[in-house]
Structure 1
């Protein structure tokens, strides 16, 4: 199956529809991603947020086709420029990865080979998808290292991954993802190991890439401050489901779902000086044994008997969706 050269006019770069990815273990079925839907437009940034174990990283792996057994996609569609990625062969997916779709992993050593020099890895990445000379490929690699703020790029190209710090390795991994100016980038907490100055530089480069080349970006993170400054839209995940989505400013200023409100309230800067930190009570439920109905109801301040039934993912305000039967609609309208 061949992919269209460009997205259809006005069509989204990526559309995830009712995606389900389950892990079939001896202990039972882990519903890591369960009925997840969102859209990423050309040139836009989608922030995918949630606490550890919410399913956001598995969602990213599912999109790019990197879910290993015992996990597998059990339902839904992942439409990249109108083509369902789940229907492509492994050879077709390999042709896409690193070229038109790239992923930046949280651990840079998932990208880098420890026994090969950086120039070897970057040149091979360029030549795998572009018919250019080795010298041209080397120049592209050099420019990409400069983009992410690596000093003395010629010298760094001759180094091995073990000669870099963790933060420097991550910058190299980000540079590799940017080599072909892909149409879609999935970034899984790529700036966690970087200092604030370099983090700001990477975020600026990501925004520039989206603006100049129409790249669609999914930024997976638990850091709401990064999402607030980077993303256009946001999808909040909890226990394998998207519980709220919408324009990032509207969601962060006036959340509809109690879980989103709890996440925002847990940010230290939002707490009064000297007061105890606000926190969401309880623990995230095991994905092996989720409660009936709303998975958040045991921790929710607005829970009631109706929450024992599965809540629909409904549009409560224009462009604002939430998986809740008792959302903060009045508060959002007043805001």
Structure 2
């Protein structure tokens, strides 16, 4: 796979750059001004603060940011899996036009697995170590559909084949603890695909796997998303993964969207200084003998966010305006390449060249 100038090299066996999503369809997912809060003894934490994006059928979006940026909480909010006392306090989540915010738990349970599914970083969060794979996969089908056990077993076998598992009958009779990490993750992905959901949320499911297995799974997931027309959110801190997997990228920082655009736009011409810093931090950008670049400082605590832009203490471009006033944000702006920054990188470069 060729890599654009300035683009980080993808992992071994990464799939080719994602094709354009299926056209002519309304958005599968619309998230607008989503806000999720957790009251604590020290104060209220807002790990998701005004997040907005859309996903079309067959489209894959990389949700990127450092640890604590709000990626996983965004995914859990969409799934309706925020534990109390945390709750969604604002915004809208529409799945195929249906509003999910405020739905009763019974209605959300009916949607999970059937219309929306989540793949976790640790497959053992999905798989029960004391039940055979066949038992778990067939129960996942029977809880949503009235089919015979044999029909459910046949579908489970077909799902394993789709994710590249050889000898599926043998794997169905195995216990998860007896399988390798890569095999368990493939089974978790196959389980998520059983009902061909409209949306899959994948929370760093390949982080703990070696590069070769990671590349294989990414290629399989991308192909399945295209074939089945499923929208997918791939949560990761690794830009090299989304470089070859995703159609577009949403970069989060301190619970807010920093930049949003297509993969080519964001990776080849980043606008936000934070995005530019993440790209510069990729090891493949460092020359031999040169120290790896790192963004100075640390992400702020959500209980003590600075006034103005949350990135201002780490940004070399920050000025008095950045320290006083946060950049204006609107969900209507999440339709094209956009950075929520007073001094976008490309704008400064244009001013200098002029």
- TM (norm. structure 2) is 0.88
Separation in 1, partners of 2:287, 2:95: 44
What secondary structure is seen at the aligned counterpart in 2 of 1:67? coil
Aligned to 2:58: 43
Unaligned runs of 5+ in 2: 1-23
Aligned to 1:3: none
Aligned to 1:301: 316
Distance apart, 1:120 and its partner CA: 0.4
> Do the aligned partners of 1:239 and 1:287 also contact (CA within 8 Å) in 2?
yes
Question: Whose relative contact order is higher, 1 or 2, with alpha carbons under 8 Å and at least 6 apart?
Answer: 2
Separation in 2, partners of 1:227, 1:24: 33
Stretch deviating more after TM superposition (258-267 or 203-212): 203-212
Separation in 2, partners of 1:19, 1:141: 35
Distance apart, 1:294 and its partner CA: 0.4
CA separation of 1:304 and 1:30: change in aligned 2, threshold 3 A: same
CA separation of 1:318 and 1:217: change in aligned 2, threshold 3 A: closer
Separation in 2, partners of 1:206, 1:276: 35
From 145, 160, 165, the counterpart of 2:160? 145
Deviations 1:42-72 (Å, cap 9, x if unpaired)?
A: 1100110001000000000000100001211
Aligned to 1:273: 288
Q: Which aligned pairs between 1:252-291 and structure 2 lie closer than 5 A? A: 252-291=267-306
Separation in 1, partners of 2:334, 2:175: 52
Distance apart, 1:317 and its partner CA: 11
Aligned to 1:5: none
- TM (norm. structure 1) is 0.93
Distance apart, 1:33 and its partner CA: 0.4
Aligned to 2:11: none
Aligned to 1:27: 42
Deviations 1:53-94 (Å, cap 9, x if unpaired)?
A: 000000000001000012111110101111110132111111
Separation in 2, partners of 1:106, 1:206: 15
Deviations 1:220-252 (Å, cap 9, x if unpaired)?
A: 001111101011010000000111000111110
Aligned to 1:313: 329
CA RMSD of aligned residues (A): 1.9
What secondary structure is seen at the aligned counterpart in 2 of 1:218? strand
From 120, 133, 136, the counterpart of 2:135? 120
> Do the aligned partners of 1:187 and 1:219 also contact (CA within 8 Å) in 2?
yes
What secondary structure is seen at the aligned counterpart in 2 of 1:313? coil
CA separation of 1:331 and 1:196: change in aligned 2, threshold 3 A: farther
Separation in 2, partners of 1:65, 1:119: 27
Aligned to 1:82: 97
Number of matched pairs: 326
Aligned structure 1 segments of 4 or more residues deviating by more than 4 angstroms: 314-318, 331-334
Distance apart, 1:170 and its partner CA: 1.8
Aligned to 2:182: 167
> Do the aligned partners of 2:28 and 2:57 also contact (CA within 8 Å) in 1?
yes
Stretch deviating more after TM superposition (147-156 or 169-178): 147-156
From 315, 321, 327, the counterpart of 2:344? 327
> Do the aligned partners of 1:256 and 1:332 also contact (CA within 8 Å) in 2?
no
What secondary structure is seen at the aligned counterpart in 2 of 1:86? coil
Separation in 2, partners of 1:332, 1:201: 39
Stretch deviating more after TM superposition (145-154 or 209-218): 145-154
